[in-house]
Every structure is written in structure tokens, then in C-alpha cells.
Structure 1
Amino acid sequence: MPSPDTITVPQLARLMGLPEAPTIIDVRTDEDFARDPRLLPASLRRDYRNVTTWADAFTGRSSVIVCQRGMKLSQGVAAWIRLKGGRAEVLEGGFEAWSGAAEVPLIRPDHLPPRDAEGRTVWVTRARPKIDRIACPWLIRRFIDPGAAFLFVAPSDVPAVAERFGATPFDIEGVFWSHRGPLCTFDVMIEEFGLRSEALARLALIVRGADTAALDLAPEAAGLLAASLGLSRMFRDDLAQLDAAMPLYDAFFRWARDATAETHNWPTPGARA
């Protein structure tokens, strides 16, 4: 039975990808991290030795602390964060428990972009997004970097902006994060980051169908296409469109994870004729 300040692997896994998910703080030692540099989704690396200098940043926020085994390092860091007014839980069993569990994702570090001076990954793509260029930012913010920054620029300027501003280009031809054969960029990100899950696989099929005009791939693809085109007409500002679309993808993800077997009809069962 976990203590009140401890969260189990299954409990944390259920929060992954949700807008209300806690911040995950990885405080493994450099030696432990070097042995296995994979990361829990959307996690931040912090040095436990300097916790007094950075704990204030988590005041008023919920966090989960992860060390190698869920013992002294994470317990101490969580206590400091609580002292500073944050709500901090320790992952029971730590990184070893998470990495040994079935059906939970771990981020491969090979292709993680560098972070800027503010600790964010920075991405750049073509302006006036429709589907892939909204779906990918949703995936990044929910599973890779909640604070990621996105730059939407003229298509011809994407490579130059990427170079001059240290941004990672995506969903344009000739870059790593782009379409590959029948797969769209959203598919590629799931594969390259190691984010395989049943729910994301369902969502990827819908995104691919809507983004590549292959609406027969999933019945829901036509609905995502219609909603995406509607959002693009509602907002002239691409960042405002992205903000408005985040709950749409949250809803599709929750359906893909929890509600695919649920149906709805009218009249309700048992209603009088």
C-alpha cells in the first residue's frame, strides 16, 4: 500500500498525456542516468544536489519525483518541494519500477532537441496549420516537453529560421521530422520517440487518415478533418488556433484510451415509445 506521498506506476501511467498531468522530475544520479538515459514522458532532469535553488519553480504545482529506486533522493527532493509550497509525490520503485513495467512508454533520447536558455525545446514549421502541424505540437507538449515553443513561419523561411534561431523543423520536406512513405509526421514522432501505446496508435491512424486524405483508415478521420478545417477558419493567429485545438486532441486521446467501446443512440434505452 503506497504512502499518501507516493504514487504507483499504474497510477502515474493513467495521468500520462492528460492536461492535468503532474510535472515529472527526474533526479537520478549522473551515473544511473548514463546507464539508461531513457526518460519518462514529459519529464524534466534536475540535479538533486541543487534542489534548494530550483524547488521554488514548483511552488503551487503538482509534481512526481523519480530517482533510481524511489528512495532517499526522490524522498528528499519531494520534501523540499513540499516545504516550498508544492505538491510532490514520489514514484514508488522509481525508474527501475517504471522501466520494468509493461505497456508504459519511455522516451528514447537519441532525437530529443536541445533546450534553449529557458529550458524549452523550440520547433518551427509552416504557417496556417491544419492537422499534422497541430497534432505534432499536441504530442510534444503532452509527452515530450510541456513547455515546448512553436514557431509558425512562411514555408520558404522554415529552414533559415531553424538555423538562425536554433529551432527544430518539422512537417516540411527534407527534414528528419516529416512524412515517410504513407506515414505522417505524427506517426514518425511516435515511432522515433518510442511512444508506442494502444491509445496513441489509434489516434495516429485517425491523424494519418485526416492528414493524407485517406479517410477510410478510421471512421473518426473525417470528423477530425472537419474540425481541423473549421478551426483554421476560426483563427487567423496560428498559436491561438493551436491553443484552441489542444482540447480537441485531448478528447480524441481520451476516447482512444478509454471510450472506444462506448456507443450512443437516441432514444435512450428504456425510453417510452
Structure 2
Amino acid sequence: MALHFSITPEQLWRRTGTSDAPLIVDVRRPEAIQASNGLLPAAVLRDAQHAASWTLAPHSGTIVVACRHGHGRSQMAAAHLRARGFDARVLEGGYDAWQAAGLPLVDRAAVRRLAPNPPSLWVTRRRPKIDRIACPWLIRRFIDVQARFLFVDPPQVTEVARESGATPFDIEGVELSHEGERCSFDTLLRVFALESDPSLARLALIVRGADTARPDFAPEAAGLHAVSLGLSVLAGDDDHGLLHRGFAVYDALFAWLRFASSERHNWPARAA
């Protein structure tokens, strides 16, 4: 159990986009939600009054409860969750503090349109390699932690989308696909208003270079291309196994971009 019942926006952002990110529960009043088009990354909406009986997706880690100011509603909901044995914390200062810190919010209108009811369902071409692993990574880390993905034969993507209600991506003729030399990953960043984060923007450049045979876009693109093709060979037809392995690559790239890109190594080390 946590010793502290709050978490700052900066602390939460540092853990966002990782495999052990907290589950974020948005308990703002309906009128506050309607007045803003921004959502905390991968947040789920719940009524604070019913926190004692919430049914949450299986989650063994931290839960962060956020309201507008970080006052009564989030405090009450987090207290109910702690009484049920959860490691629940309050976002210090709420949405107001998050925005004051200049941290990214996801476009709520896009979430309502493309992933309205968690777990959301998405469909794309089978045998993913680069863009079709990067996109699911972004969706799971920033849009919907419960998102499910279908991989089908390329000619069947739009029909499966129509039959299942899944959102198609990275296929010609759909909204979430390539735009000129920009990849589907770029499109997702634009649609969900995540382009402003410099680390995600840099990651998009690496993905674009690897996926479109333009290693001049970013030095890391050639490495991502090589690792992605190697993972594809190892996975064979196991698309979901490849997704699991590939997520570790994007977790590592995103962490490097945020926290370690200035670190340098050399050998042999020069004598003092």
C-alpha cells in the first residue's frame, strides 16, 4: 500500500506511456467534462458517487483518481478504493494542475468517436512489422489500456471493421492511415492531439523513417527497422505474440527519448 495518497502531475506523466502506468480514473462532474475537450491519457470515466462499487478492469498496480481541482470528488473516490484494498492516489491539483504544467491531454472528441466504449476494438492487416505495432502501442498506452486488436488478411480489413464495429487503421482508404510520407502513427498523433509532446513527435520521426525506408529522417530509424524485421521472423504468424514483443521495443524507445537520450558510452574509457 502506498504511503502517500497523492501524486503530482509530473510524477504521473513520468509513468504515463509505460507498461506499469497507473490506471487513471476521471471523476470530474459531467459539466466539467463537457466544458473541456481534453482527457488525461488512457483515462476512464467514472461517477465518484459510485466508487464503492466500481467494476474496474483487472489491475494490480496504482490507480490515480482525477477531478478538476484534486479536491473532494477525487479524495472521496480514492478513499473508497483504498477501503477496498486498492493502491489509490489522488492527482494533486487535478486537471487544473496538469494543464498548468503544460502536459498533454488526449482529444476527447476523437476518443468518443473512435474508441467510445472500453475495451475498444481495432482492426488492421496481419503480419505487422513497424507502423502496425507502433499504432497499437500508442493506443494501449495513451487511448485505451484495454484496447483489443484484430489482424486479418488485407482485403478483409474494411469488411471485418464493418461486421465487428472495429476501428480500421493502416489500410488504404480509411481515416487512420498514411498521409503522404507520414505514417499511420503520425495520423494517430494528429487525430488524438498528441503531436505536441516532443518525445512522441521524435518517436514518430523514427517510426516514419523505419517504415518508409527513409533512415535519413532519424539515426535510430535503421535500428528500429532491423529489430522490427528480426522480431517478425522470430514471431512467424503469431501476430499477437509479435505485438507483445514489439511493445517492449517501443516502451524502451519512448523511455530513451524522455530520460536517456543524452547519455553517451565509449570504450575504452579515456584515462583520467
**TM-score normalised over the length of structure 1:** 0.93
Maintained 8 Å contact 1:60/1:85: no
Unpaired runs of at least 5, structure 2: none
Amino acid of the structure 2 residue aligned with 1:81: L
- Which whole-Å deviations, capped at 9, do the CAs of 1:213-257 have from their partners, x for residues lacking one? 111111110000000001111112100100011111111111111
How many positions carry a matched residue from both structures?
266
Rounded to whole Å, the distance in 1 between the matches of 2:14 and 2:259 is 10
**2:238 is equivalent to residue 237 of structure 1:** yes
Maintained 8 Å contact 2:131/2:184: yes
Per-residue deviation, 1:199: 0.8
Amino acid of the structure 2 residue aligned with 1:140: I
3-state secondary structure, aligned to 1:111: helix
Amino acid of the structure 1 residue aligned with 2:212: T
Maintained 8 Å contact 1:59/1:84: no
Aligned to 1:182: 181
Rounded to whole Å, the distance in 2 between the matches of 1:50 and 1:266 is 58
Rounded to whole Å, the distance in 1 between the matches of 2:30 and 2:189 is 27
Aligned to 1:257: 258
Maintained 8 Å contact 1:59/1:86: no
Per-residue deviation, 1:191: 1.5
Per-residue deviation, 1:8: 1.0
Aligned to 1:100: 100
Q: Assess, with a 3 A threshold, how the Cα gap between structure 1 residues 59 and 146 changes in structure 2: closer, same or farther.
A: closer
Maintained 8 Å contact 1:115/1:122: no
Per-residue deviation, 1:29: 0.9
3-state secondary structure, aligned to 1:28: coil
Amino acid of the structure 2 residue aligned with 1:177: L
Maintained 8 Å contact 1:124/1:167: yes
Q: Assess, with a 3 A threshold, how the Cα gap between structure 1 residues 57 and 81 changes in structure 2: closer, same or farther.
A: farther
Rounded to whole Å, the distance in 2 between the matches of 1:247 and 1:59 is 19
Rounded to whole Å, the distance in 2 between the matches of 1:259 and 1:11 is 17
Q: 1:94-173 counterparts in 2 under 5 A?
A: 94-102=94-102, 104-112=103-111, 113-116=114-117, 119-173=118-172
Maintained 8 Å contact 2:20/2:61: no
Maintained 8 Å contact 2:170/2:178: yes
Aligned to 2:32: 32
Rounded to whole Å, the distance in 2 between the matches of 1:256 and 1:39 is 23
Maintained 8 Å contact 1:58/1:86: no
Q: 1:48-87 counterparts in 2 under 5 A?
A: 48-54=48-54, 60-87=60-87
Q: Assess, with a 3 A threshold, how the Cα gap between structure 1 residues 15 and 56 changes in structure 2: closer, same or farther.
A: closer
Per-residue deviation, 1:58: 6.6
Per-residue deviation, 1:181: 1.2
Aligned to 1:266: 267
Per-residue deviation, 1:110: 2.4
Rounded to whole Å, the distance in 1 between the matches of 2:167 and 2:58 is 27
Rounded to whole Å, the distance in 2 between the matches of 1:164 and 1:58 is 28
Query: What's the Cα RMSD here?
Result: 1.6
Per-residue deviation, 1:95: 1.1
Aligned to 2:201: 201
Rounded to whole Å, the distance in 2 between the matches of 1:96 and 1:185 is 31
3-state secondary structure, aligned to 2:18: coil
Amino acid of the structure 1 residue aligned with 2:70: G
Rounded to whole Å, the distance in 2 between the matches of 1:80 and 1:58 is 17
Rounded to whole Å, the distance in 2 between the matches of 1:59 and 1:156 is 36
Rounded to whole Å, the distance in 2 between the matches of 1:72 and 1:194 is 29
Aligned to 2:224: 224
Amino acid of the structure 1 residue aligned with 2:244: D
Aligned to 1:248: 249
- Identical columns (%): 50
Maintained 8 Å contact 2:49/2:77: no
